[in-house]
A and B are shown apart, each in its own frame.
Chain A
Amino acid sequence: MPETTPSTAHQFETLSQQRDADIAGMWIFLATEVMFFGGLIMCYTFARYSYPQVFEAASHRLYVGYGGTNTAILLCSSFTMALAVRAAQMGDRKWLLRLLMATIGLGLAFLTVKGFEYHTDYVEHLVPRLDFRWEGGESPHAELFFWLYFTLTGLHALHVTIGICVLGTMAILAGRGRIGEIPVEIAGLYWHFVDIVWVFLFPLLYLVGHRS
């Protein structure tokens, strides 16, 4: 039984109009995010096209263990998020709360793994401008790869963090029984998008060329 009856904002005539507008609005926002990340992908495309060998060598310095684990974590979190939205739609407050917490937990796990990974990268002198060392010539080009790696994954991690904050707020409201279905659905769309970005980043950054 839903415990909240969402009210219609004054500019809308009906609740379903509001729902449609909110969801379409989030989709437009996601389209803008595609273009935002897309600009960096343009830089990546140029750099990889220009320096294919160095890119491959640099990519192989990243650990598939970290990247693969993180991809699996995010895919799981998308699963729990989709189920959370379903729980909200069915008015199941208990499961909504549990699934939101699960998604948040997986998000935090992602960030934790990322943190360990960044530390490893730093220790191995792969952070541009911070005691960066590259054997094998074309050091500035390798540095370009790592700049793209840190900027892309850093921007992505920022989006994950924002998502966690939003979901956290929703979990608190859900705990008090004061959240409707629409905000959860919209947050879900955002979260899935963040997952999709990583689904592309993983092969682009970790699996350039082939590893032996």
Chain B
Amino acid sequence: MKNGVPSSRAYVGTFVALMALLGITIMAGYIDLGVLNLPIAMAISLAKTLLIILFFMHVWHGSRLTWVIAGAGFFWLMLLLVLAMTDYRTRTPVAPMPASHVQLP
């Protein structure tokens, strides 16, 4: 950083890393990893997101407030997903789920 302006090298490096991660994402989509396909895909997306947030969005050199706000948004979304899924994941059906008999127009 010179005079508070990031060097273009950081941006180039970030961009190259992002494209590489994109390549990995696509490759992983063609490999059978069983239940791990989703977590791995999400982890790679998270890595890309961190790169974009930290470098393109200047959070790496930014104030603590922006760290907190960025983290808060993600945390709150997790609250919604995790707590709602505690319902779906612990339901004990009393009868098998019927197949749909609906005739669509």
A and B touch in the complex (CB under 8 A): yes
Residues of chain A touching chain B, judged by Cβ–Cβ distance below 8 Å, are 20, 23-24, 27-28, 30-32, 34-35, 38-39, 41-42, 45-46, 49-50, 64, 68, 71-72, 75-76, 78-79, 81-83, 86, 89-90, 132, 137-141, 185, 188-189, 192, 195-196, 199-200, 202-204, 206-212
Query: B100–A24 contact, CB under 8 A?
Result: no
Query: A31–B69 contact, CB under 8 A?
Result: yes
Q: A23-B66, A31-B73, A200-B45 are in contact. Are A138 and B100 (CB under 8 A)?
A: yes
Query: A68–B22 contact, CB under 8 A?
Result: yes
**Candidate in A39, A50, A78 with the most chain B CB atoms within 10 angstroms:** A78
Chain B residue at minimum C-beta to C-beta distance from A56:
B37
Query: B100–A38 contact, CB under 8 A?
Result: no
15 A/B residue pairs, CB under 8 Å, sorted by A: A27-B65, A27-B66, A35-B77, A45-B84, A49-B89, A76-B15, A82-B14, A138-B100, A141-B100, A195-B52, A199-B45, A203-B41, A203-B44, A203-B45, A207-B25
Chain B residues near A68: list those with CB within 8 A.
22, 26
Q: A72-B22, A199-B48 are in contact. Are A192 and B56 (CB under 8 A)?
A: yes
Query: B22–A212 contact, CB under 8 A?
Result: no
Tally of contact residues, B, Cβ under 8 A: 53
Please, how many angstroms separate the alpha-carbon atoms of A202 and B48 in the complex? Answer: 12
Query: A38–B77 contact, CB under 8 A?
Result: yes
**Main secondary structure on A side of the interface with B:** helix
Chain B residues near A210: list those with CB within 8 A.
29-33, 37
CB proximity of A60 to chain B, nearest CB, Å: 10
Please, how many angstroms separate the alpha-carbon atoms of A140 and B103 in the complex? Answer: 9
Pick the contact of A90: B5, B37, B38 (CB < 8 A).
B5
CB proximity of A43 to chain B, nearest CB, Å: 10
Query: A82–B26 contact, CB under 8 A?
Result: no
Query: A83–B11 contact, CB under 8 A?
Result: yes
CB proximity of A58 to chain B, nearest CB, Å: 15
- Top-9 shortest CB links A-B: A31-B73, A207-B29, A34-B73, A203-B41, A38-B77, A79-B15, A82-B56, A27-B69, A89-B5
Please, how many angstroms separate the alpha-carbon atoms of A151 and B89 in the complex? Answer: 25
Please, how many angstroms separate the alpha-carbon atoms of A212 and B100 in the complex? Answer: 29
